[in-house]
Amino acid sequence: MRITGLALVPPPSAADLPKVTPELLASVLARYSRSNEGLGAILAKVDINDPDASIDRILKFVDYGHASIGGLTGGLAVAIDGVSMWLAYKIFEIAQMADGQESSTRYITMDPSNLPAPEEIGVPDDLADRWRDVLARSFAAYQSEYRRLDELASAEPQRVRFPAGAKPAVIGRLRKNYALDRARYFIPFATRTNLGLVQTSRMWAATVKQLDSLPQPEARAAARLIRDELLKQSPRLMRHSFAEASYTEQARQEFEQSVAFARERLSSTPLRDEVWVHVDREAPPWLQERQPVAEALRHRTNRYGQQGTATRRMRVTFAWNNMALAELRDLNRHRTGNRYTPLVQAGFYLPPEVDREAHAQLLDDQLGLTRELVERGSPAYAYSLLLGAQTPFEHSTHADKFIYEAELRTGMGAHFRYAEHLSAALRAFLVQVPEAREWVVEGTAEPE
């Protein structure tokens, strides 16, 4: 694992603007909100060569008493190399205010050399060899299925939805994506990946505090390394990034609930698709919504257009019983509202193009390893999962955000499987909000 902070510098066109460090920016703006001096007078007290002294002259963070100051630091960028897909998933789940990206499964190394050492992630010593064996065979299954599916797509090109007039390079890329996206369910959740995030010091402190409170040693190691890197840019605010009782206790309870759920539901049998959508349009009697839903939607030219109050005030909760981790990695990065999953293997998904019987022994062995870790109450059970593991997943947000997500995740280039999930959720939403049907654009996920 390697953590790298990126210090932002102004472009040449901004050479004449005042220069501030992240915490100096926060202190200046905090002072600005409680002064009628004007920004120029406050900046006159700043010595960019000695920013710490300038901060102390303007205000003392520790005495100010408002967490919102940490939100004034601007975006602090951090690159996080060589962490498991599980930890990348967890960071995105926690950091709901962050902008970020994770390496695509289409572009990272897919072999056992790209796994963390068992001791780094808390795999019990007596299960380490068994864990390595199961995951090495999972990578082998991935590679064999990718080759087979790539050959299938070449022999039967009608399987791939090529756009009209596509050039040979585009056809080649889409054919490979067809194979990659169907083979990926064999990828271990422990596979190393990279991610980059940008968020304020306030949100970084909360993210690191929560990571430091989790039972997985990889999460705590990441917390320490991220904190050490960000102390270079925001030393005062990152002092508030250590584990504390409420975070630790909630992490403990959530983990115990997940273990209990897994003991009840652990399975590698594929789960039939189920979707649940709940729409709440209730409003205060003295502030009723007067805009028709059609007026909230019909003026958009695409999904990025502004929606009206009729959808922005409408609450929507949607959930699936069987979201594979492969799709969860993508849908988990929608930042609005709250997301929840026990992150257990209640079933196992493979696409129709893959013969499940050909991999029955691997799936049995993987399930047996996961069951052993669950019975021991080991936090390492997540590292025995493959991306085909199906878990319940719930997301609560507002209708404008749900509509955006549904249009995005069924639109051009969407992955075939999460397009199926979002199409099902959208249909259930439109049953409850039929007046939106004419104005919501469900895509066909073409080309892949």
Q: Does residue 321 sit in the same domain as residue 273?
A: yes
Question: Which tokens sit at 131?
Answer: 């864990």
Q: Specify which residues 318 forms β-bridges with.
A: 277, 395
Q: Is position 296 within any domain?
A: yes
List pLDDT tens digits, range 149-160. Answer: 999 988 988 888
Q: Is position 426 within any domain?
A: yes
Nearest Cα neighbor of 105 from 329, 323, 366, 355 is 329
**In this predicted structure, what is the pLDDT of residue 28?**
76
Q: Is position 88 within any domain?
A: no
Final residue belonging to a domain, choices 150, 176, 191: 191
Q: Does residue 32 sit in the same domain as residue 46?
A: yes
Q: Does residue 322 sit in the same domain as residue 405?
A: yes
Question: Which tokens sit at 350?
Answer: 């493979």
Q: Does residue 167 sit in the same domain as residue 197?
A: no
User: Residue for token digits 């950091």?
Assistant: 95
Are 244 and 209 within 8 A, CB to CB? yes
Query: 1: Cβ–Cβ under 8 A, 6 or more apart, which residues?
Result: 80, 81, 82, 83, 218, 221, 222, 225
Mean pLDDT taken over the chain: 89
**In this predicted structure, what is the pLDDT of residue 62?**
38
**In this predicted structure, what is the pLDDT of residue 52?**
67
A 10 A CB-CB count for 411 gives 18
DSSP β-ladder status, 315-324 and 99-102: unpaired
Q: Is position 404 within any domain?
A: yes
N-terminal to C-terminal alpha carbon distance within the chain = 32
Q: Does residue 30 sit in the same domain as residue 131?
A: no
Q: Does residue 283 sit in the same domain as residue 404?
A: yes
Answer left, alpha or beta for residue 411, where phi above 0 means left and psi between -120 and 50 means alpha. beta
Q: How many domains does the chain have?
A: 3
Residues of the chain with pLDDT under 70: 32-35, 48, 50-73, 446-448
Cis omega before residue 447 (within 30°)? yes
User: Residue for token digits 């115990």?
Assistant: 256
Query: 277: Cβ–Cβ under 8 A, 6 or more apart, which residues?
Result: 316, 317, 318, 319, 425, 428, 429, 432
> Residue 390: in which H helix or E strand, if any?
strand 389-398
Final residue belonging to a domain, choices 243, 267, 282: 243
Q: Does residue 15 sit in the same domain as residue 65?
A: yes
Are 385 and 325 within 8 A, CB to CB? yes
Say how many residues make up the chain: 448
Final residue belonging to a domain, choices 243, 276, 306: 243
Phi first, then psi: what are they for 323, rounded to 5°? -75, 115
Are 426 and 439 within 8 A, CB to CB? no
Q: Is position 23 within any domain?
A: yes
**In this predicted structure, what is the pLDDT of residue 239?**
82
Q: Does residue 343 sit in the same domain as residue 235?
A: no
Q: Does residue 175 sit in the same domain as residue 198?
A: no
Q: Is position 383 within any domain?
A: no
**In this predicted structure, what is the pLDDT of residue 314?**
98
Burial of 122 (0-12, 13-18, 19+ CB in 10 A): middle
Q: Does residue 131 sit in the same domain as residue 258?
A: no
Phi first, then psi: what are they for 231, rounded to 5°? -60, -25
Q: Does residue 180 sit in the same domain as residue 217?
A: no
Phi first, then psi: what are they for 351, rounded to 5°? -70, 160
Domain span at residue 302 reads: 251-349+388-439
Instruction: Spell out a b/e string for 181-208, using b for 16 or more CB atoms within 10 Å of the CB, else e.
Output: bbbbbbbbbbbbbbbbbbbbbbbbbbbb
Gyration radius of the chain over CA positions: 24
Question: Which tokens sit at 71?
Answer: 């939100």
- Write out 253-294 in H/E/C secondary structure: HHHHHHHHHHHHHCCCCCCCCCEEEEEECCCCCCCCCCCCHH
Question: Which tokens sit at 256?
Answer: 């115990």
Q: Does residue 134 sit in the same domain as residue 201?
A: no
**In this predicted structure, what is the pLDDT of residue 425?**
97
**In this predicted structure, what is the pLDDT of residue 396?**
96
Q: Is position 111 within any domain?
A: yes
Answer left, alpha or beta for residue 53, where phi above 0 means left and psi between -120 and 50 means alpha. alpha
Q: Is position 89 within any domain?
A: no
Percentage of residues of the chain with pLDDT beyond 70 = 92
**In this predicted structure, what is the pLDDT of residue 61?**
46
User: In CATH, what number is assigned to the domain containing residue 313?
Assistant: 3.30.1360
